[in-house]
Amino acid sequence: MSTDRIYNFNAGPAALPLSVLEEIRESFLNYDNSGMSVTEISHRSKWFDDIIEDAIARTKRLLDLDESYQVLFLQGGASLQFCMIPMNFLGNGDTADYVNTGTWSTKAIKEAQIQGKTIQVVASSEDKNFAYIPSDIQFTPNAVYTHITSNNTIKGTQWARFPDTGNVPLIADMSSDILSRSFDVKPFGLIYAGAQKNMGPAGVCLVIIRDDLLQRSPDTLPTMLNYQTFANKNSMFNTPPCFAVYTIQLVLKWLEETIGGLAQMEAINQQKARTLYDFFDASRFYSGTAEPDSRSIMNVTFRLPSEDLESTFVQEAYENGFSGLKGHRSVGGCRASIYNATPLQAVEDLVDFMQTFEQING
Amino acid sequence: MSTDRIYNFNAGPAALPLSVLEEIRESFLNYDNSGMSVTEISHRSKWFDDIIEDAIARTKRLLDLDESYQVLFLQGGASLQFCMIPMNFLGNGDTADYVNTGTWSTKAIKEAQIQGKTIQVVASSEDKNFAYIPSDIQFTPNAVYTHITSNNTIKGTQWARFPDTGNVPLIADMSSDILSRSFDVKPFGLIYAGAQKNMGPAGVCLVIIRDDLLQRSPDTLPTMLNYQTFANKNSMFNTPPCFAVYTIQLVLKWLEETIGGLAQMEAINQQKARTLYDFFDASRFYSGTAEPDSRSIMNVTFRLPSEDLESTFVQEAYENGFSGLKGHRSVGGCRASIYNATPLQAVEDLVDFMQTFEQING
């Protein structure tokens, strides 16, 4: 570990690859010989056009998207998507399915309901405090879409395999596990992800939308709430969040050229997660909170024997160079978010620290 | 001029103060001894809390805002405000006035109409291609608000004095002249401004809202489209665009501590604008397009004797280190955007170049 950088286990905004940060810093006063900072170039310039086109092309390659998908960059975070999805896709007489796996699913459901849309919550893991991912779900055959949260940042659970909804398109909030593993995109009609966990800084939301869903957006919507506005103008109907898109471009380049793609990234992420879960499973001091077959490889939630010990643990970990280990304020406990940019070494060093902490406090 | 930085006359995203860019670069790998980049810190951390609180406090001081105003940071740009304003403030039976002074006003009007809201366009300068700001307007006494665009980036016009609407609150899109001059905020119920001209990078929109308007927002709105969501959570209901807010904080600090406040900034801006307009008024080669009493001190629009000469001018200017002088694609001609961060020296050097260009091509 560098002497002035710490290990960052923040849940989001989160760690970015050091090489990406260094490249941004290096060119920050003069981007690509433009004589301007990347924050000062016009979004209508050749420079920014190259940035956004490269970001789109890399996203398409990494996720193996065919021509029926468009890659968009919106603002407002995943939270604005909660409202835009039912607004764009559910007309009178339409219905959609939602699976409730925690805080973010619950918010997505609320934003459909507040608009008076007809939806069914077809499964929920609320009975066990969202510690698992439901299975054997009866989906509604004529639903316009089925909404899931692929990874639950707060509860530390993740869909290991996506559910089979037949011909009904899946819509997934992948904010906290986008680009962390390989998966088949074909069942998905829309994927969205706030950038600030696996892709870039806060302030941009990736939206991947398939033509059949895009065509449902009615002309009567406000312009900035209609997906077609962004699709028709390549995300530049108005000024996009240029710096955030630029950072995403560099992270995607790092994923492709340094890591080697999603299969390689997934192998590293699996190893990081296994290192922590194996340690918990062998420990009587630390315990994971998610059910084993629903464990997230991105957000590892765990408890210590008491809240006092948890508080001491988080504080001493911080003093030893491990930041962001406090659980979400709504659930307490501890959490290590180990997104793409968190190196295996950070996890191994954390386990070493945890062993020492247990020896002293156990 | 530095050998590798150019003079940036972009309309937005636009020039930022060099000292601000240097400070961002300096701390980019380790913000305030956090061991993290400012793009990696949590928005729930003490570090970011200090950033956003300082940005709010400086905005309040610079604009002399009393306790009835809240300072918010939203995403989606001014374009999302076009839709949120009527959505939040106009119920059944309510009406609002709009003044149409160009492209952006026209878009604001459209977004109210697409929602089926009742509004009146009480004045328009479309009859003269938006080259002037209307006067002697008859406002509707019982309107909920009157919407204006304080500065028209594309047409190069600006309200020199704001209209008297009596007890009806003014709402202004100040995207392209916020913080460029002193003015009395009391008549305003809401002021909004995309950051990417006078305040920071693209990706954040400043919203200053007064309590009487804030209280109108109905509970039935989608959460992310309700101003109360942002007011109740200090702009952190969900993850804000942290890097953009941080840059704004530094620009506000520069305005207060380096420039000395809005009166000083206005004097510099007036001098920059006068340098160009006086030059045009004495020239038979260059001519300003806005009517003299409606001229913008931020966006100086002008023409040359022919479109061929304009094209040559923009190209040769660029080769000589003056970037961004092409007029907006919808109107043609030339435009020098001289926002706060553009130094007087840039304008003086531009006039020298224009004189030389005229001697050769005139």
pLDDT at residue number B310: 97
B36 contacts in chain A (CB < 8 Å):
5-6, 8, 10, 15, 323
pLDDT for A3 beyond 80: no
Nearest to A39 by CA among B118, B248, B330: B248
Q: Give the minimum alpha-carbon distance from A136 to chain B in angstroms, rounded to a whole number.
A: 32
Query: How far is A51 from A42, CA to CA, in rounded Å?
Result: 12
Question: At residue B239, what is the residue type?
Answer: T
Positions of B marked active-site: 104, 173, 197
- Which residues of chain B are modeled with pLDDT < 50? 1-2
Which residues 58-97 in chain B show a CB within 8 A of chain A?
75-80, 82-83, 87
Query: How far is A305 from A316, CA to CA, in rounded Å?
Result: 16
A51 contacts in chain B (CB < 8 Å):
none
Which pair of tokens denotes residue B321? 């280190």
B325 contacts in chain A (CB < 8 Å):
none
* Sequence-ordered list of residues with C-beta below 8 angstroms from that of B184, at least 6 positions apart, any chain: none
Query: How far is B100 from B98, CA to CA, in rounded Å?
Result: 6
Question: Coil, strand or helix: which one is B206?
Answer: strand
pLDDT for A202 beyond 60: yes
Nearest to A20 by CA among A235, A174, A244, A202: A244
- Tell me the ipTM for this assembly: 0.97
Residue range(s) occupied by CATH 3.90.1150.10 in chain B: 261-361
Q: CATH topology for B21-259?
A: Aspartate Aminotransferase; domain 2 (3.40.640)
Please provide residue A54's backbone torsions phi and psi, each rounded to the nearest 5 degrees: -70, -40
The Cβ-side half-sphere exposure at B291, using a 13 Å CA radius, reads 14
Question: In degrees, to the nearest 5, what angle opens at C-alpha A211 toward C-alphas A207 and A212?
Answer: 115
pLDDT at residue number B169: 98
A223/B79 touch (CB, cutoff 8 Å), yes or no = yes
Q: What is the pLDDT of residues A72-119, one digit of tens each?
A: 999 999 999 999 999 999 999 999 999 999 999 999 999 999 999 999
Which residue out of A18, A39, A109, A228 would a mutagenesis test of the B interface target, given it has the greatest number of B Cβ atoms within 10 Å? A39
Please provide residue B348's backbone torsions phi and psi, each rounded to the nearest 5 degrees: -65, -40
pLDDT at residue number A362: 86
> Please, what is the end-to-end C-alpha distance for chain A in angstroms?
27
Q: What is the mean pLDDT of residues A56-71?
A: 98
B22 contacts in chain A (CB < 8 Å):
29
pLDDT at residue number A260: 98
Burial (CB count <10 Å: 0-12, 13-18, 19+), residue B337:
buried
Under 8 Å between Cβ of B105 and B148: yes
A35/B11 touch (CB, cutoff 8 Å), yes or no = no
- Give the C-alpha distances (Å, rounded to integers) separating B227 from B98, B190, B193, B214, B311: 21, 11, 15, 7, 44
pLDDT at residue number A280: 97
Which residues 183-212 in chain A show a CB within 8 A of chain B?
194, 196, 200-204
Parallel, antiparallel, or unpaired for β A119-124 and A96-100?
parallel
Q: Give the minimum alpha-carbon distance from A209 to chain B in angstroms, rounded to a whole number.
A: 19
> Which residue is closest to B2 within chain A, CA to CA?
A35
Whether the full predicted model's pTM is greater than 0.95, yes or no, is: yes
CB pairs under 8 A between A and B: 220
Choose the catalytic residue: A97, A117, A155, A173. A173
pLDDT at residue number B3: 52
Query: Cβ of A192: how many Cβ atoms within 10 Å?
Result: 24
pLDDT at residue number B330: 86
pLDDT for A1 beyond 70: no
Question: At residue A359, what is the residue type?
Answer: Q
pLDDT at residue number B2: 46
| Cα-Cα-Cα-Cα dihedral sign, residues B44, B46, B48, B50 | positive
B13/A203 touch (CB, cutoff 8 Å), yes or no = no
**What are A300's strand-pairing partners?**
A336
CATH number of A261-361: 3.90.1150.10
Unique residue bearing structure tokens 């037949």: A166
